[in-house]
Structure 1
Amino acid sequence: MEPDTTEKQTRPFDTRAAFQEQLRDCFSRARHTLQVFDPDFATWELGSSRVDALLRAFLARHGRLELVAHSNAELERNAPRFLRLLKDYTHLIECRLTPPNLRLLTDSFCVADRRHLVRRFHADHMRGVAVYGSEAETQDNCERFAAIWAETIPGLHAGTTGL
């Protein structure tokens, strides 16, 4: 992973491995906020040990993680590490669900500190772009996340799965 720099970097990707690499890079650059949206987080590997370590380091620095999904079923079934992370840092993680009128949204993105972005153009495909060190490039996704967040309802939390 490259250190955070002030110079803008743009990295297109089109494979699952490249998407995972860009997500890990984005997570490692985050210091204050991670705002993420995906229909179900099935391809995000939030339950992997590598992502768990990055998110734990971020949350240990008192970062805030906000997730929005159409469904949390994938996380509940296949991401026990993420569920433990949620239990350990419930005060710093908020998981929300979209209402039915937003279920037509099909892209997928992560914004870190309003400066770094990883975005897939459609959640069913791995083609996308990562942009680092540019508030101007992340502004649209930040505004979009805020608009989506404003319409969401509470979702996954530590008590949901009996943790």
Structure 2
Amino acid sequence: MSSTQPDVKPLFTGAWEGRNFFGDLIRQALETAANERWKLVVLSDPDFADWPLGERAVVDALQKWASKGRQLHFLARDFRFLQARAPRLVQWRVTWDHLVQARACQGAAAEALPSAIWSGEWTLERLDLVHARGVATNDPKRRIELRERLDACWQQGAQAFPASTLGL
């Protein structure tokens, strides 16, 4: 019997290391978000400079994920790199503005800003940005702890990364 569901590889859990592995985890997480219909996804990083968010496969996964009732939250210190280097994502963000919220964190909130993906099912956190080391888990305690830190940054952040800029 043939299945109509795509082959879904379980998300990696455990300690990880390396920029390539980090990028692969992001791609896999967003594909899983689409396949499993995650309601809320939070992407957090100081500037997203080494995230593969401009890649066609990533934007295709976000397109597949996008649907009524879903939310994508971005947290960063600065969105300039993302806006300059990820035109596919920027265009996708314009189309799906009603699902996307973004905040820029400054001061103490920016210093505490995790480099992470959060969902109600799984989290990834890059603990060492220089050496690209981190942990991915579906452990409820770790998900709650990360969500609390993300919420603190969100509450202190200001709206940013608009879908369009109005002006004369």
Please indicate the TM-score interval, normalised by the length of the shorter structure. Answer: 0.7 to 0.9
**Which structure is higher in RCO with an 8 Å CA cutoff and minimum separation 6?**
1
TM-superposed deviation, 1:62: 4.3
Identify the match of residue 80 of structure 1 among 71, 83, 87: 87
Aligned length: 156
Structure 1 unmatched ranges of 5 or more: none
Deviates more, 1:27-36 or 1:76-85: 27-36
Identify the match of residue 124 of structure 2 among 118, 122, 136: 118
Aligned to 1:64: 71
Aligned to 1:127: 133
What is the 5 A alignment of 1:1-163?
1-3=8-10, 10-30=13-33, 31-60=38-67, 62-105=69-112, 107-112=114-119, 114-132=120-138, 134-160=139-165
RMSD of the alignment, in Å?
A: 2.0
Quickly say closer, same or farther: Cα 1:95–1:41, change in 2 above 3 A.
Answer: same
Quickly say closer, same or farther: Cα 1:160–1:76, change in 2 above 3 A.
Answer: farther
Q: TM-score, normalised by structure 2?
A: 0.84
- Render the CA deviation track for 1:103-158: whole Å, top value 9, x for unaligned: 3236411112x2201110033331011113x3233110011111111111000011
Taking the aligned partners of 1:90 and 1:83, their CA distance within structure 2 comes to 10
Runs of 4+ in structure 1 over 6 Å off: none
